[in-house]
Amino acid sequence: MAKLRVQFESGEPERVIEFDPRRAPFQHDGRPGSILDVLLAHGVHLEHACGGNCACTTCHVVVKKGIERLSESEDAEDDLLDKAPGLTPTSRLGCQAVIEDPDAEIVVWIPKYTINQISAHGG
């Protein structure tokens, strides 16, 4: 079973999700087996304003462990990440980063705000 540990800038308690990547998709938004797919299916809210179609940055996550176990990013994801606030070398879009390895152990950190929320609602 793969393990996804989720930490929140907002201060919510850490969540640990164990799942079998071979059973993806787990719901209908984001790439099958993506971080977004896994989180939503396990009751963890991750913003995804574009429906998980790689058209915004609201599902930006920072991968703190296991980035090498995720699918490689493509141009569309990298172009969007360029515009994400708080970009780090291990930033990914949750809707695009797929966990394929059944033995993977991934730790992600979810930022509190997205660029769009800051713009629209004054932070």
Partner 1 sequence: MAVELEGRLEDVVDHGADTRSLFLGLPVPLDFRPGQFISCQLPVGGETLIRPYSIASSPEESTRLELLLNLVPGGPGSHHLFGLPRRASVHFTGPWGTFVLERAPAAETVFIADGTGIAPIRPMLRRALATATGHRLQLLAAAATPARVLYRAELDALMRDHRDFGWDHVASDALEDEVTRRYVARDADRSRRFFICGVGAIVPTLRDLLRRAGYERRAVQYEKW
Beta strands in 9-121 (DSSP E): 15-19, 60-65, 91-93, 105-110
- Interacting residue with partner 1 among 15, 25, 44, 53 (CB under 8 A): 53
Kindly tell me which of 22 and 120 has the beta carbon lying closer to partner 1.
120
Tokens encoding 69: 């176990």
Distance CA 13, CA 116 (A): 25
Kindly tell me which of 18 and 119 has the beta carbon lying closer to partner 1: 119
Give the residue with the Cβ less far from partner 1, 20 or 78. 78
**Long-range contacts, 73-80 (Cβ 8 Å, 24+):** 73/97, 80/54, 80/55, 80/56
By CB under 8 A, residue 91 contacts partner 1:
no
Pairwise CA distance, residues 111 & 86, whole Å: 8
Q: Is 92 in the site for partner 1 (CB under 8 A)?
A: no
Binding segment for partner 1 (CB under 8 A), chosen from 15-23, 49-57, 62-70, 89-97, is: 49-57
Binding site for partner 1 (CB under 8 A): 29, 45, 47-58, 75-76, 79-80, 82-83, 115-117, 119-121
